[in-house]
Amino acid sequence: MRDHTPVHQTPMIGRRTLVFPQPELSRLGHPAFEAVGAAAGPRLALIGGVHGCEYSSIAAVTRFMRSLDVSALSGRITAVPVVNLSTFRTRTAFVTPEDGRNLNRCFPGDPGDTYSGVLAHAIFEEVLRPADVVVDLHGGDLDENLRPYSYWSKTGNEKMDSITRDMVLAFGLDHIIVVTDRPKDPAASRYLESTASTRGKPAITAEAGYSGTVQPEDVNALIYGCTNVMRYLKMLPGSAVMVEHPVWLGKVDSVLAEVGGTFYPLVQRGTYVEQGMKIGIITDHFGKTISELHAPAAGVELYICGVPSMKKGDTAANIGEVTKTP
């Protein structure tokens, strides 16, 4: 992050609409908050709704910014509550309806690409490029019965990895996925978080929420996390409280459906499972069991599909394998 010399400035918070000139995007005005603190400090990009049906992230960004005391803020915040308005408006899980692509696999984007690539490029240029640090909030899409967790992506840059490790500990979610295989090429960063980190900007991703719901405990967890990370960054007064004994998850195993049909989970989000344990079944439309799903390893059930519809190749569950403190 850049060094910032404290200076007095007029604190303010404003609301604006991001209207991008590209023909594909011009019909949508993306709401954004801009906050300027009383003193200089880092510029934070606070993101929600990259997946437009992960509503807890959208609610958390909105409520956080509406309650922010800018007189206590050092630095600036650009906050976009719902990046993917198209999926929000059409209630489309995971992918953008215009091109069937996952926006969080399209960064840094390309103005000559299909809709998702164009949107990723616009968000990169307008929000991510000017930022010093990035927090990307998610929250369990329409079919994701998900327990809260955050990601710590190790880049190999010791200084930045130390900062992001502290950021995820400050965020406060007690289950943390350690990621070591994210892209290193800035031109092919794919993920919003990696688009920041490959450009030297500390970034973290946090998830709280499930099955498209907006539960107070999930929204409050995300708001608390943002507040505490900003304390760590010295953007807000007070000392950051760090998670003392997190559960570090060194690998995430996806359980894929081998056949299509009706899915019935046999475990809940957050359940600790043993290797080989039966975690769900798939039946045909007459109710006959045609497939059993088993845990490939021992670990915590991070996500179990929350709806019955299942087609071959769908992710039925994600299981996080516990590792030692990294």
We report the CATH number of the domain holding residue 69 as: 3.40.630.10
- Yes or no: say if 149 and 207 are a contact pair by the CB < 8 Å rule: yes
Q: What is the number of residues in the chain?
A: 326
Q: Please give the pLDDT value at position 31.
A: 95
| Per-chain mean pLDDT for the chain | 95
**294: enclosing H helix or E strand:** strand 289-294
Structure tokens of 319? 């299981």
Same structural domain, 21 and 162: yes
270 domain-assigned: yes
Give, rounded to a whole angstrom, the gap between the first and last alpha carbons of the chain: 23
Same structural domain, 66 and 150: yes
Walk along the chain (326 residues) and give the pLDDT tens digit of each residue: 554 544 557 788 999 999 888 888 888 899 999 999 999 999 999 999 999 999 999 999 999 999 999 999 999 999 999 999 999 999 999 999 999 999 999 999 999 999 999 999 999 999 999 999 999 999 999 999 999 999 999 999 999 999 999 999 999 999 999 999 999 999 999 999 999 999 999 999 999 999 999 999 999 999 999 999 999 999 999 999 999 999 999 999 999 999 999 999 999 999 999 999 999 999 999 999 999 999 999 999 999 999 999 999 999 999 999 999 88
4-25 confidence digits (pLDDT tens): 544 557 788 999 999 888 888 8
Compute the C-alpha angle 115/118/121, nearest 5°. 150
In the listed set 199, 232, 265, which residue is the last one of a domain according to the structure?
Answer: 232
In the listed set 232, 258, 291, which residue is the last one of a domain according to the structure?
Answer: 232
The single-letter code of the amino acid at 134 is: V
174 domain-assigned: yes
38 domain-assigned: yes
Q: Please give the pLDDT value at position 50.
A: 98
* CATH code for the domain of 300: 2.40.50.100
Among candidate residues 204, 214, 95, 80, the one with its CA nearest the CA of residue 149: 204
Q: Please give the pLDDT value at position 86.
A: 94
Same structural domain, 133 and 167: yes
- Yes or no: say if 46 and 130 are a contact pair by the CB < 8 Å rule: no
Same structural domain, 299 and 219: no
- Yes or no: say if 304 and 276 are a contact pair by the CB < 8 Å rule: no
Same structural domain, 206 and 112: yes
Same structural domain, 188 and 85: yes
Range of the structural domain that residue 298 is part of: 249-322
In the listed set 175, 203, 232, which residue is the last one of a domain according to the structure?
Answer: 232
Compute the C-alpha angle 61/101/315, nearest 5°. 85
Same structural domain, 197 and 293: no
Same structural domain, 313 and 184: no
122-139 confidence digits (pLDDT tens): 999 999 999 999 999 999
Same structural domain, 177 and 75: yes
242 domain-assigned: no
3 domain-assigned: no
Q: Please give the pLDDT value at position 27.
A: 83
What's the rounded Cα separation, in Å, for the pair 12 and 38? 8
Same structural domain, 141 and 193: yes
290 domain-assigned: yes
Q: Please give the pLDDT value at position 3.
A: 47
Helices 216-232, 55-67: inter-axial angle, 10-degree rounding: 50
The total number of structural domains that make up the chain: 2
Same structural domain, 100 and 166: yes
188, 253, 271, 316 from 296: Cα distances, Å: 30, 7, 14, 12
State the pTM of this model. 0.94
Same structural domain, 256 and 226: no
Which residue shows structure tokens 């900003």?
A: 230
